[in-house]
Structure 1
Amino acid sequence: MLLKNILHNNSDKIIRMFTGIIQAVGQIEHISPVGEDVKLSINCAGLDVDDVNIGDSIAVNGVCLTVVTFNDNHFNVHVSHETLSVTTGLNQVHPVNLEKALRLSDRLGGHLVSGHVDGVGEVVSFEPLGDCWKLDIRAPHAISKYIVVKGSICVDGVSLTVNTVNKDTLSINLIPHTLENTTLKLLSAGSRVNLEVDQIARYVERMTEWAAEDNELRG
């Protein structure tokens, strides 16, 4: 019941959610300007699209986008100027992480992800660590307060666990499976990535603020 409540708002309108478990790596193949917006043609040959329809949501590198046309192994999305201004990687031809919207019957393998990017981070370093790789990212200061050790964070659509936090820099260890099945293996120092913090942190902050405001009103 909890997941069902999260995926619906008070008007019973479905809220699109994701898990951060990448289902396929696609490729932005064509970018068409539409005024200040763009229309993307994305090759999704590795994605199971049997249940995809026009109007469905697909997370592209962590950004929730709506399928406007669909044919063969490609789908098209319209990306607004506003979305382009607060995200990265949607205006260039390159590989992208893809995930279809969560269904009520699906397993929650990662964590709840909205597909609304909170900020763009910068890769500080990306180095081998035994069989894994250590990824250090500098997050925008405004969202750093929501990032905690052993908490979840979404990086370019991938649900990951934070190992350490030092001011605005977070460290993540990536296992071979994650590298093999996502675009994260293509990162290097200086790369920009889409970040979405765990929504629970925002809810806790708002509840704390509301409680403080309520206590102040009560005197």
Structure 2
Amino acid sequence: MFTGLIREMARVKHFSGNRLSLKADHKPKLGDSIAINGTCLSVVSIESDGFSVELSPETLEHIATEKLSGNVHIEPAMMMGDRFEGHIVQGHIDTVGIIRSITDNGNSYDVIVDVDSEFIPLIPPKGSITIDGVSL
């Protein structure tokens, strides 16, 4: 589980096939779950300046892989006893939407996102969703 709050910006060192290597200050353990741009991935190797994660075929099919370059945001999975901030999100990607418009309402924003109609029933009324892993 994640909160949908960005904890650190990491730099993509290399992305090829199903492996993504990141330069980061965060020091995970082998096997840890970590959200990269909101997608829950597993740490498969630790390097001196960061770590690598592996993407399953299902993940590669559903995420915006073009965003896995430059800087990405990371969020380690919540630990039992952590303070709940943001929202509770799983890091499972159902679909990729397209932001149609953003309206500034002074102290909030309306973000209109187009998604395929088959995914509308998965969006709970007044529930939380994430865009690129940021809870909204």
The TM-score normalised by the length of structure 2 is 0.84
Matched residues, percent identical? Answer: 38
Gaps of 5+ in 2: none
For 2:68 and 2:110, the matched residues in 1 are separated by: 26
Other-structure match for 1:31: 15
Aligned-partner residue type, residue 57 of structure 1: S
Output one character per residue of 1:59-88: Cα deviation in whole Å (capped at 9) or x when no partner: 111111111111233211121222111111
Name which one, 1 or 2, has greater alpha-carbon Rg: 1
Which structure 2 residues correspond to residues 1-219 of structure 1 after superposition, within 5 A? Answer: 17-33=1-17, 38-45=18-25, 47=26, 49=27, 52-89=28-65, 92-130=68-106, 133-160=109-136
Q: Which has the higher contact order (CA 8 A, sep 6+)?
A: 2
Change (3 A) 1:69 1:53: same
SS, match of residue 122 in structure 2:
coil
CA deviation map 1:117-156 (0-9, x unaligned): 1111111123544465543211221221233553211211
* Amino acid in structure 2 at the alignment position of 1:18: F
Question: 2-side partners of 1:90 and 1:158: how far apart?
Answer: 17
RMSD: 2.1
5+ residue gaps in structure 1? 1-16, 161-219
Structure 1 pair 154/113, CA: closer, same or farther in 2 (3 Å)? same
State TM-score, norm by structure 1: 0.55
Distance 1:148 1:82, change over 3 A: closer
Q: Across the two proteins, how many residue pairs are aligned to each other?
A: 136
Give, in whole Å, the separation in 2 of the partners of 1:77 and 1:90: 16
Q: Distance in 2 between matches of 1:141 and 1:28?
A: 33
Secondary structure of 2:58's aligned partner? helix
Give 1 or 2: higher helix fraction.
1
